[in-house]
Amino acid sequence: MTTRQRKHSKLRRFILPLGSLAVMGYFAYHSFNGDYGIWSRERMEREAIALEQELTGLKSTRLALAARAQLLRPESLDPDMIDERARAKLNVVQADELVISIAAAQHSLQQ
């Protein structure tokens, strides 16, 4: 009876370390370049700062509009505000008022 002896390959002992290095390389690469990596985090922080500045501007605009809308509420009706809005929307004046057209004045100055 004969027995076969296998020769052990020298590459066989490098399979596990090379596989481990490949896995570590994969995770190292994605820790920098992935969707939530180090460089993406810096980009997201810059975007967060820009969005916070935009939010601050929008909040101030909202407060200004809310104050203007408060003047039109029935509890605190401001006659000047109603008069201003009516004149702007309806394009009317009262009978005793004098209207000076700025466009006509500028046209006469150019001639």
pLDDT in tens, 2-58: 777 777 778 888 899 999 999 999 999 988 888 888 888 888 999 999 999 999 999
Residue linked to tokens 């390389």 = 25
pLDDT of residue 1: 64
pLDDT of residue 56: 97
**And the tokens for 1?**
């009876």
pLDDT of residue 45: 92
pLDDT in tens, 72-111: 777 777 778 778 778 878 877 778 877 777 766 666 666 6
Is 38:31 a contact under the CB 8 Å cutoff? Answer: yes
What is the distance between the alpha carbons of residues 62 and 29, in angstroms, rounded to a whole number? 44
pLDDT of residue 86: 81
What is the distance between the alpha carbons of residues 85 and 88, in angstroms, rounded to a whole number? 5
What is the distance between the alpha carbons of residues 79 and 95, in angstroms, rounded to a whole number? 18
pLDDT of residue 105: 60
pLDDT of residue 102: 77
